[in-house]
Structure 1
């Protein structure tokens, strides 16, 4: 027997705001929310329709009192699906992301950014279908 990856929980100060950023990045929608958390996931499939491929994990943004103080030990990687890496980086910068240096060096194929609450994530160079 195995487990299935279904959810990634992310501590933050503003669940609704950070969820809005990630909805714009991933094309996700809010699936549930209250004052302390917001859950986002891929758009729900209308009844009678089939989803192509596996259901991606949800992201759950949970309000915590403490702020981020060190580099994340776990981060999200995203792949542009219909833009070049540079175009996607520019789109994400327009949404509120910022460049980050986590010691990646100069000769890497990915771009390290941080979201509005300074959580690191990478934009990979390869396109995924």
Structure 2
């Protein structure tokens, strides 16, 4: 195994996004944008350029929120984070939903914990249920309380 050269300066943190496999990326993006108070990314202008250049087939595009979107990929981003104005792609906190052919079959190995304001957990759980989430169970332990929930496609998350 080759070792990276040693540097005298601190390494640059890596940029990342959370990618979630889904049956319907658009509906998942709508749910999570509402759940997190994020924005669905608008890649419409970028997609139009790709179509005009002939590098993106029309069958890979759908209309979503009255604009062009990728059929198999859609992301949500934090509204305060920067984004690339040419592509519409977020450059900060974002979640990307990608279409996959197989259905979810087992418990998630990674999940989000949503932190409600003090005293607001139950109202947040009710709000999320109104968006299409379901409560799987309530947990009360010496270390705290939370609700384990599932999004519309069954992905688990917690509300603390």
- Assess same fold via TM > 0.5: yes
Structure 1 runs not aligned, ≥5 long: 47-54, 125-129
**Who wins on radius of gyration, i.e. which is larger?**
2
1:79 aligns to 2:111 (yes or no): no
1:64 aligns to 2:105 (yes or no): no
1:11 aligns to 2:3 (yes or no): no
* Cα distance change, pair 68–85 in 1 and its aligned pair in 2 (3 A): same
Structure 1's consecutive aligned runs of 4 or more residues displaced over 4 angstroms after TM superposition are none
TM-score (norm 2): 0.64
Greater RCO (Cα-Cα under 8 Å, separation 6 or more): 1
Contact 1:76 1:122 in 2 (8 A): yes
1:20 aligns to 2:56 (yes or no): no
RMSD: 2.4
**Whole-angstrom CA distance in 2 between matches of 1:7 and 1:37:** 13
Q: Which residue of 1 aligns with 2:150?
A: 114
Structure 2 runs not aligned, ≥5 long: 1-10, 44-68, 83-90
Alignment of 1:22-101 (within 5 A): 22-31=32-41, 32=43, 33-43=69-79, 57-81=93-117, 84-101=120-137
**Whole-angstrom CA distance in 2 between matches of 1:45 and 1:10:** 20
Per the TM alignment, residue 110 of structure 1 is displaced from its structure 2 partner at its CA by 1.1
Per the TM alignment, residue 66 of structure 1 is displaced from its structure 2 partner at its CA by 0.2
Q: Secondary structure at the match of 2:145?
A: coil
TM-score (norm 1): 0.78
**Whole-angstrom CA distance in 1 between matches of 2:149 and 2:26:** 20
